[in-house]
Amino acid sequence: MHKSLSRLTNEELVDSIEKSALKERSISIEILDQLAEMDRRKIHLETGFRSLHSYCVSRLRYSESAAGRRICTARAMAKYAAIREMIADGRLNLSTVCVISTVLNASNQLALLKKASGKSRREVEAIVACLRPRKRPRERITPITIEGFASDRTDKLKSPRLRGVGDSGGVGDSGGVPGSEISSYRPADRARIDNRSEIYLRRGGKTPTTPTTPTTWKHKAAVHQNRFELRFSVDQNVMTMLERARKIAPGSSTLESVFGRMLREYLDRHDPAERQERRRMRKNRAAKANGRGGSAERSATRGRERASSSIFTPVSSRKSTGSAQSAGSAQSAGHVCSREFARGEIRSRHIPAPLRDEILLRDAFRCTFIAPDGTRCDATRHLQIDHIKPFALGGGHEPENLRLVCGAHNRLEADRMGLRPPVRV
């Protein structure tokens, strides 16, 4: 406690804090005006941030929620002038403005602001709920810690490994924490778990031929697991598919295991690193097969000829011969197309999948825009592949002419080069 404050009487302290609150609201209004002007000019893009929210969190050191409230209030205050006066005298605050701004418009602003004046956030939420149905909850991932128990088992039980889901993916595992023997199950469930897990005892990978003594649980101490709580909503179609997946899923059908299997399947199919590895393996197998027959050069020549005829054959001719085209010629055609795209011989904005994957891996799935002060944009979602020398000005698909940027910085570069049409007012 500050020494000067300890000398104040109760009345003086109350008077002092009320004057400080008035100053705080005055300063807050100044900050809101400045944020609104920054939002209008899009200055945050020039400083290397993909959004005003990212600028407030990284540069101004606001928390994510504090930044969101200030940006929302700044935009509402710029649109509805009456909000400024109500914030200045304390009838509204940042939280209540964020709630009421979702239903404000030119026709109802005066009536709604009068209703919200002096109300708490919960009271304002009740006003808004009467005007519209409930909004879909925001997606959220929250880190949590749950309590488990260390086991003193002599025989380690492991279920068949579920690829990519945790470390062992089995019953009573640690949820992906290597080297740990943790169970978060209740004592009543452990006998059932042991009985189900006996068939997974590591005896040369086979089911034991002699009865096994049930595993005993001796807890040493409580331990903690780092987990994540997911919150999101789904529509009826997704819910129907999820319920069906849980019915046909082998073994555990918890939401965690089902989502883990689905994510593994998706990444195996669509992850650029996985696709690049499959291409490398196919190329090695083809080279090995051609080397065995001693006709690698002849096979490559035939493949290029078939690919060339396939690329430049009219569509009508392709329809009649498409069923007879082999898988090998289609693969060769893809390689020829990729090389011709890279050299710029085929003028198309389409970037082949192998080249797209190469750029994604090279730029580490992050926007490459760097501000003059060295700040790199931290966007990792909704990324786009941009031509350093614009495609419209003759730029090709060479890897050195391609880069990964977020949509906001892609539009910023297009505006700088005059490649976007002017906005109609």
Cβ pair 32, 76 in contact under 8 A: no
Region 118-138: mean pLDDT is: 86
Output b/e per residue, 12-36; b: 16+ Cβ within 10 A.
eeeeeeeeeeeeeeeebbeebeebb
**pLDDT at 45 (0 to 100):** 93
Cβ partners under 8 Å of residue 245, min gap 6: 258, 261, 262
Other residues' Cβ atoms within 10 Å of the Cβ of residue 97:
25
Return d(Cα 115, Cα 123) in angstroms, integer: 10
Query: Could you give the 3-state DSSP secondary structure of residue 182?
Result: strand
Return d(Cα 290, Cα 285) in angstroms, integer: 9
CA distances from 271 to 207, 336, 358 (A): 36, 23, 12
* Torsion sign (Cα): 38, 40, 43, 44: positive
Region 333-345: mean pLDDT is: 48
**pLDDT at 133 (0 to 100):** 72
DSSP 401: G
User: Is it the case that residue 55 has pLDDT exceeding 80?
Assistant: yes
Lowest mean pLDDT among 98-107, 167-176, 406-415: 167-176
**Two tokens, residue 347:** 């003028």
Which pLDDT band, with edges at 50, 70 and 90, does 340 fall under?
A: low
Write down the residue that tokens 């640690």 correspond to. Answer: 174
**Two tokens, residue 336:** 């020829």
Please tell me the chain's helix, strand, coil percentages from 3-state DSSP, rounded to the nearest 5: 55, 10, 35
Mean pLDDT of the chain: 75
Most confident of 66-70, 129-133, 245-249, 288-292: 66-70
**pLDDT at 190 (0 to 100):** 40
**pLDDT at 196 (0 to 100):** 41
Cβ pair 328, 365 in contact under 8 A: no
Q: CA 40, 42, 45 angle in degrees (round to 5)?
A: 170
**pLDDT at 350 (0 to 100):** 86
Residue 240 amino acid letter: T
Instruction: DSSP for 192-220, please give it.
Output: HHHHHHGGG--STTS--SS--PPPP--EE
Other residues' Cβ atoms within 10 Å of the Cβ of residue 174:
19
**Comparison of pLDDT for 277 and 212, the residue scoring more:** 277
Lowest mean pLDDT among 83-87, 93-97, 350-354, 373-377: 350-354
Which pLDDT band, with edges at 50, 70 and 90, does 156 fall under?
A: very low
Instruction: DSSP for 119-163, please give it.
Output: --HHHHHHHHHTTSPPPPPPPEEEEEEEEEEEE--SS---PPP-T
* Torsion sign (Cα): 217, 219, 220, 225: positive
**Comparison of pLDDT for 4 and 368, the residue scoring more:** 368
**Comparison of pLDDT for 294 and 114, the residue scoring more:** 114
Give the start-to-end residue ranges of the domains of the chain: 15-129, 140-232, 234-270, 283-348, 363-425
| Predicted confidence (pLDDT) per residue in 83-92, tens digit | 999 999 999 9
Task: Return the percentage of the chain with pLDDT > 90, whole number.
Answer: 36
| Predicted confidence (pLDDT) per residue in 7-28, tens digit | 889 999 999 999 999 999 999 9
**pLDDT at 331 (0 to 100):** 46
Which pLDDT band, with edges at 50, 70 and 90, does 353 fall under?
A: confident
- Specify the pTM: 0.52
Region 76-98: mean pLDDT is: 93
Return d(Cα 264, Cα 84) in angstroms, integer: 51
Return d(Cα 233, Cα 137) in angstroms, integer: 7
| Predicted confidence (pLDDT) per residue in 159-207, tens digit | 333 333 333 333 333 333 333 333 334 443 444 434 444 434 434 444 4
Region 381-390: mean pLDDT is: 89
**pLDDT at 295 (0 to 100):** 53
Q: How far from chain centre, in Å, is Cα 262?
A: 16
Q: How many residues does the chain have?
A: 425
CA distances from 170 to 161, 239, 254, 358, 393 (A): 7, 25, 12, 35, 56
Q: How far from chain centre, in Å, is Cα 26?
A: 38
Bridge partner list, 404? 385
